[in-house]
Structure 1
Amino acid sequence: MPKKTIKRFMPDHAKIRNHKHLKIFGSLVHEPNLWCLNRRSAAGAFAVGLFFAFVPVPFQMLLAAGGAILFRVNLPLSVALVWLTNPVTMPPIFYGVYKVGSLILGRHGDKFHFEPTWDWLVGSIETVGPAFLLGCLVCASVASLIGYFGISWLWRYSVAKSWQKRKEQRR
């Protein structure tokens, strides 16, 4: 079940292999393990993709592709999962990440006031930055672990359920 569901939403392999930004990885992109879909590669891809989804940089997809190549997990799935943080979901997710970081640092009384100006951004790096970056690291790690073990468990559960169903049909 998870394999069929995941395959339905995965982008075309040829399209990703020939993407202009992935040319920096050269022939590493053509390794067959990056394109197969099994329990290990799917769980690893969820871990890599969800980790880099919480990294606040504009080139998250390249980082996810590099992580997929490094850990030899499914590349299209890793890259697709980075889009968890897209322009619509990024503000609430990153605000939550900041709150997690400020909770860990013990800054409960810090008031957060956003202004869409360059001066505010530069000035807030010292005040908001540490809590935000710590929150990003913690949330990325937690999401990565939940994604890895959650998909691994779901995959095993689905296989056991289908075996049980086949066993009952034989009777």
Structure 2
Amino acid sequence: MPRRLIQRYMPHPETLKRTRSLRFISHIVGDASLWVLTRRSVGNAFMVGLFCALLPIPFQMLLAAFGAWVLRCNLPLSVGLVWLTNPLTMPPIFYCNYRLGAWLLDIPASQVPDRISTQWIAERMVEALPALLLGSLVSAVVLGLAGNALIRLIWRWNVSRSWRRRARRRQQARKQTPSPIDTDSANKSPAPEADADRPEE
């Protein structure tokens, strides 16, 4: 994963320090070691961020920041990935988690009505909570581990490709640059030939 691409979209430390839910851990947010971009720190950050994003709980950003501090991975990526579940994506994601949990518990899943109301949600919340929690936990673990592994593979592939490009450039540079032996031969003047027509004394 190219560092420049990640750094372009990473928030500034001061931006995270001003975030309301992270203000009281500003000393952790400002830790320079939690802003390092390596294959390990980025891979673990994706795991932490995706895991927290799929949990139907409040204070996801705070949990992601704490997880980044415990695993010593990239904090802004961990916190930023939490926004995978936002007001637009939460309903379909958590409903899929609920369906998964209902399938794992072998219970019938409730169908979503044409018009969702707060009353319907309140009535179904207690009934759906076990399936929602189980499905969300399974999805969070699977997606977090898969994201970690995928990022590490992409990072390794990108590094290998960079090394191959450098090796090709060096080979091309060697081909274009004349060797020292050829240069010395070209600089040497030809030895004077013996004058065969010169009469002997």
Once residues 122 and 111 of structure 1 are traced to their aligned partners in structure 2, the CA distance between those partners, rounded to angstroms, is 13
Equivalent in the alignment of 1:8: 8
Q: CA deviation at 1:18?
A: 4.2
CA 1:99–1:9 in structure 2 vs 1: closer, same or farther (change >3 Å)? same
Identical columns (%) = 46
Q: Number of aligned pairs?
A: 169
The answer as to 2:49 corresponding to 1:49 is yes
CA–CA separation in structure 2 for the residues paired with 1:76 and 1:12: 8
Query: How far apart are the structure 1 equivalents of 2:110 and 2:98?
Result: 11
Structure having the higher Rg: 2
How much does 1:122 deviate? 3.5
User: Higher mean Cα deviation, 83-92 or 12-21?
Assistant: 12-21
* 1:105 equivalent in structure 2: 105
Q: 1:26 to 1:110 in 2, by over 3 A?
A: closer
Q: Tell me whether 1:83 sits opposite 2:91 in the alignment.
A: no
2:21 and 2:59 in contact (8 A); partners too: no
Q: Structure 1 residues 12 and 30, CA, compared in 2 at 3 Å: closer, same or farther?
A: closer
Amino acid at match of 1:90: M
Query: What is the CA RMSD across the aligned residues, in angstroms?
Result: 1.7
Distance of 1:15 and 1:111 partners within structure 2: 41
Q: Which amino acid in structure 1 is aligned with residue 117 of structure 2?
A: P
Q: Deviations over 1:20-58 (max 9, x none)?
A: 432322523332211111111111110000000011123
SS in 2 for 1:128: helix
Paired residues of 1:10 and 1:76 also in contact (CA < 8 A): yes
In structure 2, the residue matched to 1:116 is 117
Q: Which runs of 5+ in 2 are unaligned?
A: 172-201
Alpha-carbon deviations, 1:96-134, whole Å to 9, x = none? 111111111112x433235422x4334323321111110
Tell me the TM-score normalized by structure 1: 0.90
Does the residue aligned with 1:100 lie in a helix, a strand or coil? helix
Quick one: higher RCO (CA 8 Å, sep 6+), 1 or 2?
1
TM-score by length of 2: 0.78
